[in-house]
């Protein structure tokens, strides 16, 4: 696929993203044939959106999540600056076909990790991290049937990135915690009355959010993309996604690491 077709595909996906409308599939001339082409389309997203990359996300970090969308492993996507919101943000669910909230562990970098041929080890990656945050991802796909869209189109569609709530930095000494075993409790309430409660932990994220972080860094480096100071990585949902509807609010409690919340309108 020629470069201008990558841009055209990214622009079409961005148009549907802004409008809250869905595609059955990208037109044949713009449809990526493989993951490489899907990544190339995704790489055009910041330019067509006129925005910058604030962070990166990982989708399908559990075997159940991978099976659900028919992929063999995790998928990386970028999070644009305009899609990042503060703790307590309210979102409209109009046009959102997924309607889920996903509590996540988030790492913000204090120094650059340039792209290089040799893989970064987990300890090397963590040494570049400044702060750990709580977060809630509110994903969506531009495909009407994202479960059957396939890996290449899902990558082109930014791995279902949509909106993201970045919680406050943890004040606890997170470096000395076992993040794989760290428990997270989430509650969904309507008009203040809880109707869903779910437990999760860091183990749901490729076994450990720190390993997921290293995976993302090395996946990007393999494509010549480095991480920049100030950018963050949100490492994937630490529990089964929470179904939400207009009027709901979500609070995710990470114990000593803090809380993060979001609410939803029609």
pLDDT tens, 183-215? 999 999 998 899 999 999 999 999 999 999 999
pLDDT band at 77 (very low <50, low <70, confident <90, very high): very high
Query: How many CA atoms within 13 Å lie on the side-chain side of 81?
Result: 9
Question: What average pLDDT does this structure show over 102-111?
Answer: 98
Per-residue confidence (pLDDT) for residue 62, from 0 to 100: 85
Question: What average pLDDT does this structure show over 132-148?
Answer: 97
What angle, 0 to 180 degrees and rounded to 10, lies between the N-to-C axes of helices 35-42 and 3-19? 70
Instruction: Please state, rounded to an integer, the average pLDDT across all residues of the chain.
Output: 96
Q: Does residue 9 carry a pLDDT above 90?
A: yes
Cβ contact 59:36 at 8 Å? no
Place of tokens 């989708």: 59
Per-residue confidence (pLDDT) for residue 64, from 0 to 100: 85
Per-residue confidence (pLDDT) for residue 83, from 0 to 100: 97
Planar angle of CA 55, 21, 18, nearest 5 degrees: 40
Domain range summary for the chain, segments of one domain joined by +: 52-265
Cβ contact 136:104 at 8 Å? yes
Per-residue confidence (pLDDT) for residue 1, from 0 to 100: 60
Rounded percentage of the chain residues whose pLDDT exceeds 90: 94
Q: Which residue has the higher pLDDT, 1 or 114?
A: 114
Please name every residue paired with 184 in a beta bridge, in sequence order, or none if there are none.
200
Per-residue confidence (pLDDT) for residue 185, from 0 to 100: 98
Per-residue confidence (pLDDT) for residue 95, from 0 to 100: 95
Per-residue confidence (pLDDT) for residue 129, from 0 to 100: 98
Query: How many CA atoms within 13 Å lie on the side-chain side of 217?
Result: 32
Per-residue confidence (pLDDT) for residue 212, from 0 to 100: 97
User: 52-265 adopts what CATH topology?
Assistant: Fumarylacetoacetate hydrolase; domain 2 (3.90.850)
């Amino acid at each position: 696929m020629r470069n201008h077709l990558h841009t055209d595909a990214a622009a079409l996906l961005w148009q549907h993203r802004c409008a809250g409308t869905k595609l059955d599939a990208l037109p044949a001339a713009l449809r990526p044939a493989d993951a490489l082409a899907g990544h190339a389309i995704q790489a055009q997203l910041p330019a067509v959106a006129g925005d910058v990359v604030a962070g990166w996300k990982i989708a399908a970090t559990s075997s159940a999540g991978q099976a659900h969308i028919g992929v063999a492993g995790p998928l990386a996507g970028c999070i644009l600056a305009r899609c990042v919101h503060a703790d307590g943000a309210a979102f409209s669910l109009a046009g959102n076909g997924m309607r889920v909230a996903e509590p996540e562990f988030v790492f913000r970098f204090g120094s650059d990790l340039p792209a290089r041929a040799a893989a970064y080890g987990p300890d090397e990656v963590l040494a570049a991290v400044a702060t750990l945050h709580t977060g809630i991802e509110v994903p969506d796909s531009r495909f009407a049937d994202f479960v059957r869209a396939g890996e290449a189109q899902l990558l082109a569609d930014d791995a279902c990135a949509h909106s993201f709530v970045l919680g406050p930095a943890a004040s606890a000494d997170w470096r000395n915690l076992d993040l794989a075993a760290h428990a997270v409790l989430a509650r969904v309430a309507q008009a203040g009355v809880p109707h869903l409660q779910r437990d999760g932990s860091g183990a749901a994220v490729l076994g450990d959010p720190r390993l997921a972080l290293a995976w993302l860094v090395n996946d990007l480096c393999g494509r010549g993309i480095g991480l920049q100071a100030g950018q963050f990585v949100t490492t994937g949902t630490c529990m089964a996604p929470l179904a939400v509807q207009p009027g709901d609010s979500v609070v995710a409690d990470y114990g000593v690491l803090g809380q993060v919340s979001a609410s939803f309108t029609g």
